Amino acid sequence: MSGSRKRWRKLAIVAGSFTLILALLMLSPYKTTLLDGLMLEANAHINDLLKSQDSFLASMPEAINGVTSINVAPILVSNSEDSDPLDAWFERSQTEALLVQKKGQIVYERYSHGADLGRNINGMSMAKNIIALMIGIAIDEGKIQSENDSVSHYLPEIVITNNEGLTVRDLLRHTSGIQSTSEDLSATLKGNGLVTPLAEISFNGDRAFRYDNINYHLLNLILGRIYKQPLNRLIEEKLWLPLGLEDAAIINSAGYCCLFATARSWLAIGNVYLSQSNTVVSSHWIEKMINDTVTPEWFFVQATGESAGNAYGYHIYSGLPTLPETFWIEGMGLQLVMINRKTQTIIVRLGGIPSKFNINSNRNDATLIEPLLKVLAQ
């Protein structure tokens, strides 16, 4: 059996096992707690399958040209008073890149060997945040009139009877009612277009929140139609070069996943939200991304470790009960850019999630990110 076939067989076994366990858990009185734990375990394993640029599940990413990488040692730790707990957490949490900025100064920075300053780590769904920023830039430039524009204005193939009122905002917030397929997800990850023709995509019309990657694929298609450029070149022109970010790479065909960038580049993206004078997108749009939220009854979020009380904007998360002023960008595998405007703190974390069966990890702690929350609050 070939290596690729073995990996697909392993993935099918894992998926089948989780489906069986999920069915059993639905009968348990502790199903919410158990489901949250299962979701975290699933995220850990799926992230492992997609974490590298040569993953068999995805196509090779395309280059985003930037500035030459800075010269940082493989491991660099500051003399910050937070160093000891962060060092201990780094060792236990499968973290590969960790960076803390306070009041404009980097106070902690550490990388695992082979992380290439974070560039070897898939940012996963944090790519959605980049797409949302690009939509804001298109609005600033008059390419899109408003987030309330009809999707069919830009993708005229999408014209169905229950599609009335479907807007760009609905795609940004996962309130489109889209009914996508696993085949479409697999195809777009592998560098291809949707299997389902645009004219045949199904929308249920109820506009309830349902997190679905294909919403952001459609936003990617809108950007492509407007600018007539591939995603990597568009990001390079509108974000990377204006912000002076380092070389990166992204899978052009997805729109919802797979941006490989340094931790310092992600930090610069975080600073776009922290600074009121960023030069790439209007502050008005930034505030909409943060504050135009939906709070679903059930929506599991890795950073909180729970499925209740989590708010979602334009791929901006919030809902920490002890830090209501904190918001963040999140990707599968606990990829994080966490921002607290009150304390002027940004934390970038890239890596994976240890399995529940790793007894030496942080999986049995109160939350996966307890030390990070303390730093954000100070």
pLDDT digits over 261-274, tens only? 999 999 999 999 99
- The segment with the largest mean pLDDT, out of 31-40, 84-93, 138-147, is 138-147
Average pLDDT for 167-180: 95
Average pLDDT over residues 246-261: 97
Say which residue, 239 or 34, is predicted with more confidence.
239
Cα separation of 44 and 38, whole Å? 10
Q: Is the model's pLDDT at 252 over the cut of 80?
A: yes
Task: Considering only residues 85 and 159, tell me which one the structure prediction assigns the higher pLDDT.
Answer: 85
Q: Among candidates 20, 215, 262, 246, which has minimal Cα distance to 121?
A: 262
Q: Cα separations (Å) of 84 from 77, 97, 332, 333?
A: 10, 16, 26, 24
CATH number corresponding to 62-120+256-377: 3.40.710.10
Would you say residue 1 has pLDDT above 60? no
Q: What is the pTM of this model?
A: 0.89
How does residue 21 score in pLDDT terms, banded at 50, 70 and 90?
A: low
What number of residues does the chain have? 378
For range 111-115, the mean pLDDT? 94
The structure tokens listed for 99 are: 């960076």
Six-digit token pair at 209?
Answer: 């929140």
Q: Which tokens belong to 304?
A: 């909180």
Q: What is the largest CA-CA distance in the chain?
A: 61
| 174 half-sphere exposure, CB direction, 13 A CA radius | 22
3-state secondary structure of 373: helix
Please choose, from the candidates 251, 326, 188, 310, the residue with its C-alpha nearest in 3D space to the C-alpha of residue 61. Answer: 251
pLDDT of residue 115: 95
Specify the pLDDT at position 204.
Answer: 83
Average of per-residue pLDDT across 334-340: 98
The reported pLDDT for the residue numbered 178 is 93
Distance CA 100, CA 79 (A): 12
- pLDDT (average), residues 360-370: 85
pLDDT at 80 over 70: no
Residue 197 scores a pLDDT above 80 = yes
Half-sphere exposure (CA, 13 Å, Cβ side) for 290?
A: 19
% of the chain beyond a pLDDT of 70: 85
> Is the model's pLDDT at 73 over the cut of 70?
no
Q: Of 83-87, 154-158, 227-231, 354-358, which range is least confident?
A: 354-358
> Which two structure tokens, joined as six digits, stand for 165?
């009122």
How is the chain split among helix, strand and coil, in percent rounded to 5? 40, 15, 45
How many beta carbons lie within 10 A of that of residue 159, not counting itself?
12
At 115, list the tokens.
Answer: 């992380």
pLDDT of residue 367: 85
Residue 302's pLDDT band (cuts 50, 70, 90) = very high
Question: What would the pLDDT profile of 37-71 be if each residue is shown by its tens digit?
Answer: 677 777 777 888 888 898 888 999 999 999 876 55
The residue extents of the domains of the chain are: 62-120+256-377
Mean pLDDT across the chain: 88
Pick from 74-78, 216-220, 340-344: least confident: 74-78
pLDDT mean over 6-32 = 59
Q: Please tell me the distance from the alpha carbon of residue 194 to that of residue 141, in angstroms, as a whole number.
A: 28
Query: Can you give the pLDDT at residue 31?
Result: 55
